[in-house]
Structure 1
């Protein structure tokens, strides 16, 4: 889906959350009133909620903050800034992960960061679609190259879960939890997800694209297709969080980039202790699905390799390297 420069200009005018008359918007944009109406109608299709009042004009249901390269860069710490070769922001893209995976195939780029206001085909785990309304959340991907093959970055998703938990804690979010292997939770509801796609030689150079989707505000209409319990930062912290998107992106990059860059040397061992501190599954009854098979039991944490430990009704523990985990009512 193409998003015109005029539509972005219109959003910048409306971003303050105040009423703006159709005449004012037409004058600033140098278009007709009917063109303004068409643009406003297009916003509705992007999941942006509008309020129209006769005699007052139009405003956003909630103010938004569009992503801004300068605002993000100005908040980056020196280490993170040095690790970024290029930071790109797109009004709309099929998938930030998909874009960087394609880029990795045709170049030797590394340290590339891609953000989008809107994804038409956002990627979740196991082929799911990540719900991606315009301007409400954070859709972030990072491309990085490694020298020693995919095996050398086993456990990277767990380490990045720690990085995201640290960033959210610095932003003032309390009760952050990590759900194995790559979800960030709040009170047993999903707040963010990590998706890592790796390609390359088994024992040689490879590249990884690390994607993060973080819910700031999910309108109910757009969230209807989500099949699991979810939460957004607006619910946790209030409407003000919508004005902190650029700050949050910078906090995430400050924590994630050093972990990504140093992981081959540090390995998962450096993050096991912190992961266990944020573990929201330990002691909980869960079901683990692997294909058509289901395993039930009580989570006993993770081992030193990051495998999930599940204790069944007979008291026997089993370690899992992968699987889909769901909480069970007890």
Structure 2
């Protein structure tokens, strides 16, 4: 496990102390951390500047708006089973990164082994599909990237199989209505709960390094979500979702991802396709599909064996769309 810059060690220590959601007096914090009351106030302001809600109540002290479960690589590693326990190696936990995907792509170029995991409490430049920003405030959400390697370009439709793994992990945690939208959105009640971003680079030895990024909203304050251009939701707003452990959910996702990835070059998308179709929230929906400057409207009639979206267009034909720069909107 490792950490990186972006949140001072003193502020990280204070966040760990406040994570239980209870009141802690400024005097007690100062005594435990060996600093002055002014130093405590500066650390509180550092957390607030990063978007952490910290309440100050005279006579009682400081507390967070709600308890936080900080990322813990040891807890995650201890909950891995089967193929994941064998295949997942280093689990990096960072206080802050620009992007977990970007960081892991760099690590891949440096020779990091397949099965390396990167997590961050906050992303300063989180990435979504088609160059969009991924809203990534400090703590409470999941920013997960996993490195895998393929010996050939045998990963067509991989984002759909990753979506199946994500839904399985969520449903195992009691989020029974978790669903999917082609090609990479994780939904609940047709609202965006998370997303998948897969990035690939070829290597000199003929292999492909594939970084699988998954972002999930667990506790996303309204003030951070103003730039999200579609209906969204977080686990805290879903019945039964507020009690989901972040570390256990991450471990559950890795437990689903590892065996799928280990066999994907052999099986491809086929074993996951019918399950994906069962999770597809927009099956049969009227929709518009935009690709570049062109827009088609019609009814979504499924996906092909290769994972291409099938749209029965109003002008007659059924057209196929690869993910690329395609945008899909329900009408």
TM range (shorter): over 0.9
Give me the whole-angstrom Cα distance separating, in 2, the residues matched to 1:25 and 1:296.
Answer: 59
Structure 2 match to 1:32: 36
CA contact (8 A) 1:47 1:219 kept: no
CA contact (8 A) 2:165 2:253 kept: yes
The answer to whether the aligner puts 1:326 opposite 2:329 as a matched pair is yes
Deviation string 1:32-60 (CA, Å, 9 cap, x unpaired) is 11111111111112221111111111100
Structure 1 match to 2:199: 197
SS in 2 for 1:115: strand
Q: How much has 1:314 moved relative to structure 2?
A: 4.3
Structure 1 match to 2:6: 2
The answer to whether the aligner puts 1:169 opposite 2:171 as a matched pair is yes
The answer to whether the aligner puts 1:185 opposite 2:187 as a matched pair is yes
Matched length: 325
Moved over 4 A (4+): none
TM-score (norm. length: structure 2): 0.95
Give me the whole-angstrom Cα distance separating, in 2, the residues matched to 1:220 and 1:252.
Answer: 26
Give me the whole-angstrom Cα distance separating, in 1, the residues matched to 2:148 and 2:64.
Answer: 37
- 305-314 or 282-291, which moves further after superposition? 305-314
CA gap 1:239/1:155 in 2 versus in 1, 3 angstroms:
closer
Q: How much has 1:240 moved relative to structure 2?
A: 3.7
Give me the whole-angstrom Cα distance separating, in 2, the residues matched to 1:178 and 1:240.
Answer: 20
Q: How much has 1:6 moved relative to structure 2?
A: 1.4
Q: How much has 1:239 moved relative to structure 2?
A: 7.1
Deviation string 1:243-264 (CA, Å, 9 cap, x unpaired) is 6111111111111122122211
SS in 1 for 2:51: coil
SS in 2 for 1:237: coil
Q: How much has 1:201 moved relative to structure 2?
A: 6.1
SS in 1 for 2:15: helix
Structure 1 match to 2:56: 52
Name structure 1 gaps, 5 residues minimum. Answer: none
Give me the whole-angstrom Cα distance separating, in 2, the residues matched to 1:244 and 1:237.
Answer: 14
SS in 2 for 1:153: coil
Structure 2 match to 1:160: 162
SS in 1 for 2:238: helix
Q: How much has 1:176 moved relative to structure 2?
A: 1.4
CA contact (8 A) 2:235 2:242 kept: no
Deviation string 1:46-76 (CA, Å, 9 cap, x unpaired) is 2211111111111000100001112111211
Structure 2 match to 1:127: 131
CA contact (8 A) 1:148 1:203 kept: no
Deviation string 1:144-172 (CA, Å, 9 cap, x unpaired) is 111012xx101000000000010000000
The answer to whether the aligner puts 1:147 opposite 2:151 as a matched pair is yes
Structure 2 match to 1:18: 22
CA gap 1:114/1:37 in 2 versus in 1, 3 angstroms:
same
- Provide the aligned C-alpha RMSD in A: 1.6
Deviation string 1:121-155 (CA, Å, 9 cap, x unpaired) is 11111111111111110000011111012xx1010
Q: How much has 1:108 moved relative to structure 2?
A: 5.2
Q: How much has 1:315 moved relative to structure 2?
A: 4.4
Higher helix share: 1
- 193-202 or 229-238, which moves further after superposition? 193-202
Name structure 2 gaps, 5 residues minimum. Answer: none
- 281-290 or 232-241, which moves further after superposition? 232-241
The answer to whether the aligner puts 1:246 opposite 2:253 as a matched pair is no
Structure 2 match to 1:296: 297
